[in-house]
Structure formats: structure tokens, C-alpha cells
Amino acid sequence: MKLRLVVTDQVLEKITNKHKVTKSEVVQCFANKLGKSLEDDREDHRTDPPTRWFIAETDAGRILKVVYVREKDVVFLKTAYPPSEEEQRIYKKFAF
């Protein structure tokens, strides 16, 4: 199944200006993803469908956390940014 990535203008502006991440880097992370996606079950982050996230490398080796919501074959990007050490620790512990 081929997924379609939707990045709204607002999200694109945020990842570009605040986090210096490009849409191309996000696409690369989806392609390079090794572990499973984790669900963000913190109370103030719960959504329907659930918010999911993963950590992966771009083709250039930059590590990013990608946060998204998936509805059938459409993925809506919420944000993407360099992860903290704690986020990397959590991902390594639960995604593999």
C-alpha cells in the first residue's frame, strides 16, 4: 500500500523555520525507518486516530523525530525535529 504524505502550510512553516527540517528530509525518514512507530499516549497529546512517532535518519545521516497521524493510506505530518536524548532512549527501548 502506498501512503500519501500531507504536510499543511502551517506544519511546513513550523518545521522549516523552527526546526530547520525540510519536507524531503521527512520523506527520507519514512523511507529509512527501521523500528516500529510508537503511539503518543500522553493525556494532552491523545488524538483520534492516535498520534504516532518514530526516529529515523535522513539520507545524509541527520536523526529526526517524525510525529504524524495516519488515516487509512494518508499520513498527516504533525511535526519533525531533532530528538532529545530521552526521546532517543525511549524509541530504542520500545521500537525494536
pLDDT at 45 over 70: no
What pLDDT, on a 0 to 100 scale, did the predictor assign at position 44?
74
What pLDDT, on a 0 to 100 scale, did the predictor assign at position 19?
97
Higher pLDDT, 22 or 46: 22
Domains of the chain, by residue range, sit at 4-94
Q: Give the integer Cα–Cα distance in Å for 60 and 45.
A: 30
Block residue for cell numbers 527501521: 34
Those residues whose C-beta lies under 8 Å from the C-beta of residue 3, and which sit 6 or more positions away, are: 30, 70, 73, 74, 75
This prediction has a pTM of 0.93
State which H helix or E strand residue 3 sits in.
Answer: none
